[in-house]
Amino acid sequence: MNTLIFSKEERSFEWLNFFQPDDKELKTLAENLDILPIYIQDILQSEHLPKVEQVGDSNCFFIIARVLDPEMEKKDFNLIHEATRKLAIFLKDDQVISIERGTFKWLEDMTALGKSDQSYGSAFQLVCKLLKQTFRSFEPLILKLGSDLDFFEGKMFENERFPPFAKSLYNIRRKAGLLKRLFSVSLPLVDFLNGRNVGDPIAQDAIDMFKRIETKIEDVNERAVGLINLNLSISSQRSNEVMRFLTIYSAFFMPLTFLVGIYGMNFEFMPELQWKTGYLICWGLMIAIAGFHFIWFRRKKWL
């Protein structure tokens, strides 16, 4: 389905939006724009990464951007095309054609206000606003990941028992890593905006949005890596504390067990067995040994 948002008679350029077009509509579009079928294949290919290409020798550009699917904000994903949908754009001096491969609420709002919105006066400025919104679509997920990191960071230092969350931290790290790679391959979009930006505030606004989201992704990624390492360190420290307790416990009872083992032997001639005070002496010796270990461990600050 295609919709003419506004025509050249209404502005200096026209904006035509295609919502999840089928093969027939895309072939008609290719014939009208006189473009190669390879661009139609790029539009249909769900996992295609962001790019900017000049169409032939004309002043026409083909742009692909990735938009975060809102439904994936609370779900796990392992690949970029699982979490994002594609927005394809054909840009000419007097025409903008946007092709949605998903349902984008912000684009619906823009098309609804298309005729009345006077914040862009050229086709390039419209594309700048579209790209800015594609970058902004990742902000809710980044904020959620940052909030999750704050939660785990607070729980990590509490003394109360809490289920292990190494897997949750790894999931955050994986999502942040995927977003980081996506923004790395989206740099051609920023280069395109920089190349055609001649003091244009709308283009600069889109570039600033890209840098803002990229910085947040870097921050979340670094924090996730740091918390994973910290979690491993705390787990190792707790294991060492348990081993130290067991070692001290064993050090208390090993000499006592040794004494009990000696006097538990069934030899007939053991002179201590005939002592009237042997039982008390044995108890006194064991208490003295335990007391010596206790004082020694305290001086070593192991207790």
Domain end position, chosen among 185, 214, 236: 236
The reply to whether 222 and 259 lie within a common domain is no
The reply to whether 255 and 164 lie within a common domain is no
The reply to whether 217 and 280 lie within a common domain is no
CB 215 within 8 A of CB 253: no
* CATH value at residue 255: 1.20.58.340
- The label of the residue with tokens 């491969």 reads 101
Query: Residue 25 and residue 99: Cα distance in Å, rounded?
Result: 11
- Tell me the β-bridge partners of 66: 86
Report, as ranges of residue numbers, the positions in the chain whose pLDDT lies below 50: none
The reply to whether 146 and 211 lie within a common domain is yes
The reply to whether 289 and 168 lie within a common domain is no
The reply to whether 120 and 249 lie within a common domain is no
The reply to whether 34 and 159 lie within a common domain is yes
Residues across the chain: 303
Domain end position, chosen among 236, 271, 287: 236
The pLDDT of residue 197 is 64
Query: Residue 61 and residue 92: Cα distance in Å, rounded?
Result: 7
Query: Residue 125 and residue 121: Cα distance in Å, rounded?
Result: 7
- Domain count across the chain: 2
Angle at 193 between CA 196 and CA 135, to 5 degrees: 160
The reply to whether 190 and 81 lie within a common domain is yes
Domain end position, chosen among 236, 252, 286: 236
The pLDDT of residue 129 is 92
CB 132 within 8 A of CB 206: yes
Domain range for 196: 2-236
The model's pTM is 0.77
The pLDDT of residue 131 is 93
Query: Residue 43 and residue 20: Cα distance in Å, rounded?
Result: 10
The reply to whether 139 and 277 lie within a common domain is no
Could you give the count of Cα atoms lying within 13 Å of 236 in the half-sphere of its Cβ? 6
The reply to whether 247 and 158 lie within a common domain is no
The reply to whether 81 and 180 lie within a common domain is yes
Angle at 139 between CA 146 and CA 176, to 5 degrees: 55
Q: Are strands 14-19 and 95-100 parallel, antiparallel or unpaired?
A: parallel
Q: For 241, which DSSP code?
A: H
One-letter amino acid identity for 287?
Answer: I
Query: Residue 194 and residue 286: Cα distance in Å, rounded?
Result: 82
The reply to whether 134 and 73 lie within a common domain is yes
Which among 119, 82, 117 has a CA at the least distance from the CA of 102?
82
